Amino acid sequence: MAIVSICRGSKSGGQALAECLADYLDYPLLGREILQTTATAFGVSEEEVTHHFHRSPTVWDRHAAIRRVYVVAVQATLAEHLSTGNLVYHGLAGQVLLRGLPSVMRIRLIAPVEMRVRVLMESDGMTRSAADQHIRTVDAARARWVKMMYGEHIEDPTLYDMVINVATMSIPTACDFIAVGLQQPEFAVTDDVLSQFGDFRVACRVKLALVSESETRGLPLEVKAHAGVVTVSGSAPMLATGETGDRIAAIARGVRGVKEVRLKVQWFDPYP
């Protein structure tokens, strides 16, 4: 059992590698359909969710709050798929959405632009210049998205366990040696790892519940879970009625899998 996350630029062979690995290891495969699942859950179109994952935020981002909701929702959907301990994920932002989890092999696949242009020309019948322009635009938007949302450079190799260049390597060859790595102890999904995935799942559900409610959506809150005990930290306005704290606790308590809620929130006066 293991979890694999594949991040790649458009037309870099990521889907082929993910399918090869899922087939070879007999693991479930999850890709862009995660956006459809999230869209359905929110009663919006897939394009609406995709838009917030693809369009890079600007400094003055009018849609920051709703973008955050969708990102948290996609992360929560992804967390639900970890329950069996087997998954090949090749959707968006896996390297940041699954950050900090054990036994996840985070791979980045890169390919020369010329190779990707050729693939796009053949698959979509584009001219060379249109294909080149498209790839560079998509790459730049994704890089900006990761930078704005997480403050990281998408090409930073330390975000991944491995960066694989398919300029000279075939997809079956890449698939072959990754499978060897996945069988090693650091990627084994033990009972302890499964329990950490369970904690992550509960924390993601609580985060989603908090961003789904208008009173708590804009608050910079962090959520951690351990064996059903959820700790919410961050900062929130201190209202005379004390309602904010009560609402955070009530929302969190209403989430499946939560047994106890602990607040470590720093309260501030919104009207000093």
Chain contacts with other proteins (rule: CB under 8 A): 108, 110, 112, 155, 157-158, 160-165, 167-170, 173, 176-178, 180-181, 184-186
CB atoms within 10 A of CB 55: 14
Smaller CB separation from other proteins, 112 or 242: 112
The pair of structure tokens assigned to 50 is: 């995709």
Write down the least CB distance from residue 177 to other proteins, Å: 4
Write down the least CB distance from residue 116 to other proteins, Å: 12
Smaller CB separation from other proteins, 125 or 151: 151
Smaller CB separation from other proteins, 177 or 268: 177
Smaller CB separation from other proteins, 165 or 235: 165
The pair of structure tokens assigned to 81 is: 């798929």
Smaller CB separation from other proteins, 123 or 173: 173
Write down the least CB distance from residue 186 to other proteins, Å: 6
∠ Cα 201 6 120 (to 5°): 135
Write down the least CB distance from residue 9 to other proteins, Å: 11
- Long-range contacts of the stretch 218-226 (C-beta < 8 A, 24+): 218/65, 219/244, 219/248, 221/248, 221/265, 223/252, 224/199, 225/199, 225/200, 225/257, 225/258, 226/199
Whether 179 and 24 have beta carbons less than 8 Å apart is answered as yes
Task: Say how far apart CA 12 and CA 10 lie, in whole Å.
Answer: 6
Write down the least CB distance from residue 224 to other proteins, Å: 21
